[in-house]
Structure 1
């Protein structure tokens, strides 16, 4: 069974070539950049650094989207329980007297008595009154309100536009700089996903939809069906819904993601104590173990690798815990949905036929996720004619994306692709390969074919195996 994918957020402590190479060796399979921090020039330089140091690693750029945050502050106010803080939509302030936020209309949406949360729910406030653009709030506990921290208002539907001007600029930046995935915050509908896809105008960057609030849960099937990958942001989700329910919601979202054959990322505080300490808590180990057994495809580190003291150790620990947990996963949890009928068929063929590798041919790359969802033991090689798409497929656990420039969709494509993979020493003559082809038919369904080949017999007029057809 393939190893769980590990996403490491790159920040000040890890944006160095030597550290990136070490993170890759420790188990990092995806590099994340948080668009809420640093400027575009920093992100551009870091993308160049990643492409040089770890060129095969896909890059995920998290776009802030509709998330409300404090802006960069010259002064980060400390406060005690019961004290008053003034939030403002006037961004000329620096935090010394008033703390500015990035949503221009926030003061118009709130009223006295509404509860606000900040920094993934670790800080909470109650609105006392509003004067012009100023929102006076009373702190319910001690703390510090820092720069670029999220602000949540679960009691109020804020009605922000689906795609902001900043989103448009960042999607354009992602395309121009060859980013493989963009993460979209507070996705509540397939319409939101499709609006971003229209901006992208192609297969890449692929879309990671972040499920963070009740709206996303209410339209979970639509969101997962429309997105390429799902992320469970447990920080915002715990504030926007109910912190006591987050583990159960995590199981729900992972289950629906597996139903659709989509990779699911579990994020937020997996190894939070390793920001400052070399070892995790037993509770963190249990949390990671349960996420893996539930069926998470990837696990994500944030501050642990961006600003933490032990970034390499955190990735290595996450990998070791997840590998132990994987020993307790079975393939019996696949849901009774059409896409997973295909996944079960792939698993059946992979376990009953003497194949040692699986090669996937797919226009969109969706089939690679289906094969990975089948929890097969064999290595999965996903070929694509577009180099960016091929690299993006490395995000899917167990999948090696390979660029095959001349890949076509004729009946001979399987043999031609296998020959090229053999010439590049990706396949050997004694390999017995299951080839999974997926192509969108005239009826908008995927036409899936499965074939077996013994690589060494290709081109020698020898019967190469069987062929099956199915639709999804």
Structure 2
């Protein structure tokens, strides 16, 4: 079982059944689809293939949200420093004279003197003037503006709605097709996440809030509180803030998210050179290791697996690097000040489990949960023992496979609100599936007689062989 998870973006290079199986074999734990690319029929087909060949692998779909991009262009213009490029909100152009963008009000939000960045900040322009729907830009260097590349306008307050009509359409698609997580771009408040959840209208898909600008950083605590997971999109974050602060911001976001027991995905250019080259740079390997030691739940590959020439080698290398970092890492110690602030029942249960794991030769932690709440809380403490989340909800089983050190296991057992009979039944199911073995010493975390706010109120320790003999599981 993998502790730190690997998220692989599926694209033209990896969308076949054979490629999906191979991605999983070499180390993929979650599949990501980028809603900014391809059409919904293509994504629907990939989701169907994933469910067929990798039924327990969670699927994350990023929806465009407030991300500004160039559209698909017939002509991708090249330019020299000092030349003029015209962006436009008029969708009738194809790039040969003007380059359309997907945000209809961009010409209203910009003025002469504003800075415009493109393609993760690799292209820089200055606004010379705005005429009607056309934005005249002076290139600050040589380059080519390509299709579907991100556009950033740092320090400009864009008047985009938190949830667009296109977002609603994409969210409906995600619900209809059973996607496990949706990634929301440029989240700047907890209210934004809550509005997305209202549109979803149920427990699934879960929400991954992408922290990628100043607003997101300023409100990361409230965002983490209401989200199901966070993603650090370092490409946009470096452009919207400063490249010098990216690593420091990464550490801060992970620390805040872990205080709320929320997993964090670290993304952008982790093995970028391997899109076209067989071997990574030492800096890339160091970057992956550092993200794991910071406490992320998952590292993510984008173009490396979507269109890269060496996607197999890329995932295998990342798997090796994160596993070595996990083997090196020690449990994170909490200061006395932090412990004094922990007063809720789940906090106390976490502390008790952590103490038992240190003082006893516990081999596995079993959480029995419909929603996966207990697994989320225990995973945030990053115990050395593997966590098994037993649930009777297939969506929870897939979703908890994102959590650090956690594997979701389906048990076809009704969970009772008036007895605890389902707990030994779940343990027997795990025993029958060989998820727990006679020689294991396990901790079991569950909820008994649940009422509002009554969560994680039961802890048990068992030698599995004693359970098997007592309850007649064998012989």
TM-score (norm 2): 0.93
Deviation at 1:189, TM superposition (A): 0.9
Q: Distance in 2 between matches of 1:440 and 1:11?
A: 46
Match of 1:312 in 2: 312
2:191 matches 1:182: no
Is this contact kept in 2: 1:60–1:181, CA < 8 A?
A: yes
Structure 1: 5+ residue runs without aligned partners? 463-472
Q: Distance in 1 between matches of 2:251 and 2:333?
A: 12
Q: What are the within-5 Å matches in structure 2 for residues 51-450 of structure 1?
A: 51-334=51-334, 336=338, 338=342, 342-409=349-416, 410-438=419-447, 442=451, 444=453, 446-450=455-459
Deviation at 1:342, TM superposition (A): 4.1
What SS is found at the alignment partner of 1:230?
strand
Deviation at 1:256, TM superposition (A): 0.9
Q: Distance in 2 between matches of 1:439 and 1:133?
A: 61
- For 1:85-121, what per-residue CA distance to the aligned partner results, in whole angstroms no more than 9, with x for missing partners? 0000001111111000011111011100000111111
Q: Distance in 1 between matches of 2:380 and 2:349?
A: 10
TM-aligned CA distance change 1:217 to 1:188, over 3 Å: same
Structure 2: 5+ residue runs without aligned partners? none
Q: Distance in 1 between matches of 2:194 and 2:457?
A: 25
Deviation at 1:458, TM superposition (A): 3.5
Q: Distance in 2 between matches of 1:46 and 1:390?
A: 20
Deviation at 1:211, TM superposition (A): 0.2
Q: Distance in 2 between matches of 1:230 and 1:351?
A: 29
TM-aligned CA distance change 1:390 to 1:223, over 3 Å: same
2:45 matches 1:11: no
Deviates more, 1:285-294 or 1:224-233: 285-294
Q: Distance in 1 between matches of 2:430 and 2:289?
A: 36
Deviation at 1:400, TM superposition (A): 1.4
Deviates more, 1:135-144 or 1:422-431: 422-431
TM-aligned CA distance change 1:334 to 1:266, over 3 Å: farther
TM-score (norm 1): 0.94
Cα-Cα RMSD: 1.9
Is this contact kept in 1: 2:331–2:384, CA < 8 A?
A: no
TM-aligned CA distance change 1:439 to 1:215, over 3 Å: farther
Paired residue for 2:461, among 425, 444, 452? 452
TM-aligned CA distance change 1:212 to 1:440, over 3 Å: farther
